[in-house]
Homo-oligomer: A and B are copies of this chain.
Amino acid sequence: MANPALSRETLLPKLAAHVLEHGLGGASLRPLAKAAGTSDRMLIYHFGNKEQLVIDLLEYIAGVYSTALDMAIGPDRPKTRQECFERILEQGRQPGMQNFLVLWWEIVAGAARGVAGYREAADQMMTKQLAWLETQMPADDPDPAGGARFLMTLLEGTLMLGVVGHERTASDGLVAGQL
């Protein structure tokens, strides 16, 4: 091969970076190609068509998210469910996490509308996050599996409310719900 430096595998990280920065729905071939240092012509060549490119890209991003979680195992366990919950929220506020969260809602929207690949990627990310959360539950939790699911539900609701400017609604609710 002439230039193996530009295969799918080398392209995907750069494409992902561009998508994290500028969004997934509005991404078109030429800007994507420019960000990856190639041409639209080559993107089609490597991925077949744009739909497949998006599918592969989502799968790749889900994989990145997965390995990121693998490396994010905290050294110490939280004492309570509440502390666990707050730690994860705090983690979501990290600067590197913001782009990811914004993209996340785009993935959810695509999944809701049934766009190819979106639901699979979202499912994979949620499954992974759930498994990760189970490992992060308090050591003496009576029901880590169920508790993790409960926290997940609260967590996603809290994130959504935060996005639309209702972080207070969520935090006030948590107090009233005696999490």
Interface residues of A (CB under 8 A from B): 23, 25-26, 101-102, 104-106, 108-109, 111-113, 119, 122-123, 126-127, 130, 143, 145-158, 160-161, 163-166, 169-170, 172-177
Determine the chain B residues whose CB is within 8 A of the CB of A160 once the complex forms. 108, 156-157, 160
Contact: B149 with A173, CB < 8 Å? yes
Q: Tell me the interface secondary structure of chain A in the complex.
A: helix
**Copies held by the complex:** 2
Contact: A23 with B172, CB < 8 Å? no
Rounded to whole angstroms, the CA-CA distance of A104 and B26 in the bound complex is 18
Determine the chain B residues whose CB is within 8 A of the CB of A161 once the complex forms. 126, 152-153, 156
Contact: A163 with B130, CB < 8 Å? no
Contact: B108 with A163, CB < 8 Å? yes
Determine the chain B residues whose CB is within 8 A of the CB of A155 once the complex forms. 157
- Which one, B26, B102, B157, B175, contacts A152 given CB within 8 A? B157
- 7 A-B pairs with CB atoms under 8 Å apart are A23-B113, A105-B108, A111-B163, A122-B163, A126-B169, A130-B169, A153-B157
Across chains A and B, which 6 residue pairs bring their CB atoms closest together, nearest first?
A146-B176, A157-B157, A149-B173, A150-B177, A122-B164, A150-B173
Rounded to whole angstroms, the CA-CA distance of A51 and B157 in the bound complex is 29
Rounded to whole angstroms, the CA-CA distance of A149 and B153 in the bound complex is 14
Could you tell me the distance in whole angstroms from the C-beta of A72 to the nearest C-beta in chain B? 20
Q: Give the residue among A127, A150, A154 with the most B Cβ atoms within 10 A.
A: A150
